[in-house]
Amino acid sequence: MKEKFYDYIQKLQDTITSKLEEVDGKALFQEDLWERPEGGGGRTRVIENGAVFEKGGVNISKVFGELPKSMQTYFGVEDADFFACGLSLVLHPKNPMVPTVHANWRYFEMYDKEGKIVDQWFGGGQDLTPYYLFEEDAKHFHQTCKKACDAHHPEFYPAYKKKCDDYFWNAHRNEARGVGGLFFDYCKATETMGMEDWYKFVTEVGDSFLEAYIPIVTKRMELPYSQENRDWQEIRRGRYVEFNLVHDKGTLFGLRTNGRIESILMSLPPHVQWRYDHHPEKGSEEEKLIQVLQNPKDWV
């Protein structure tokens, strides 16, 4: 399974980066191949200063070896080895009318000292972070997520949509990071879903990503915007940074397993503002966004 899924994410990375370069029309992805001394490595691809994308990364990694002590404590195990691979992407568009997007699809195995698999699971999801709320965009993104889920189980979309709303919650701000999408983790074999079934589900969600995001980008990327719109985008990007550094499990896992720092922190936007005690004007488009972030909606 691990080789099968790693092969899948290599191909998916190629598909996604090719399409993003086509949409941007100016910038190309820069590729970095890196190795992890303890075992494994990855292929990081970053795009910067494009016509559409100010900064973005589409990264794959495959890491393995002895599970670090901090993660042994986290999982409640002793002397375990592990294998993890996944694709992680974040795109920060230049135009504030185009939303930021994040996605991740991953697979994990844990072994005893004889090398036997003692645990294995899939995880992942995709979520949208707009700066200005176009309701039809949120509906399109969620409808695409629901379609991918419904092909496998009618309860997947409502369950994973709620998990996304709960996970991407900036508790110290009492607001969501964005308008959500899907979040699933610890997807393990059961009587009704074997690992092959989970593989089919996760890859279907992965394959749906471009369909969910690209139509939104092409619809909004030529819209006019002001310096005030740009300032608001950078203030909201600050909230994005706060979530990733304070709450995000993927960031913590990467830091605790001696991951590649540049790849882990590529999710951070290039231009950000933190203004003291900033509040949007009453009745403004900015306030409209905040109201939705404080009270997550059902978009489908």
Give catalytic residue positions: 102
Q: What angle do CA 278, 280, 282 make, to 5 degrees?
A: 140
Pairwise CA distance, residues 134 & 139, whole Å: 9
- 57 exposed, middle or buried (CB, 10 Å; 0-12, 13-18, 19+)? buried
Pairwise CA distance, residues 156 & 178, whole Å: 20
295: its two tokens: 């009270």
Pairwise CA distance, residues 178 & 49, whole Å: 23
Sign of CA dihedral 268, 270, 275, 279: negative
With a CB cutoff of 8 Å and minimum separation 6, the contacts of 159 are none
Give yes or no for a contact between 56 and 91, defined as CB atoms under 8 angstroms apart.
yes
Q: How many residues does the chain have?
A: 300
Distances (CA, A) of 44 to 8, 41, 180, 251: 16, 10, 25, 15
- For the chain, strand residue ranges (E) read 30-35, 40-48, 53-66, 81-93, 100-111, 117-129, 169-170, 175-176, 180-187
Q: What angle do CA 22, 138, 8 make, to 5 degrees?
A: 50
Q: Which of 299, 106, 100, 132 is nearest to 213 (CA)?
A: 100
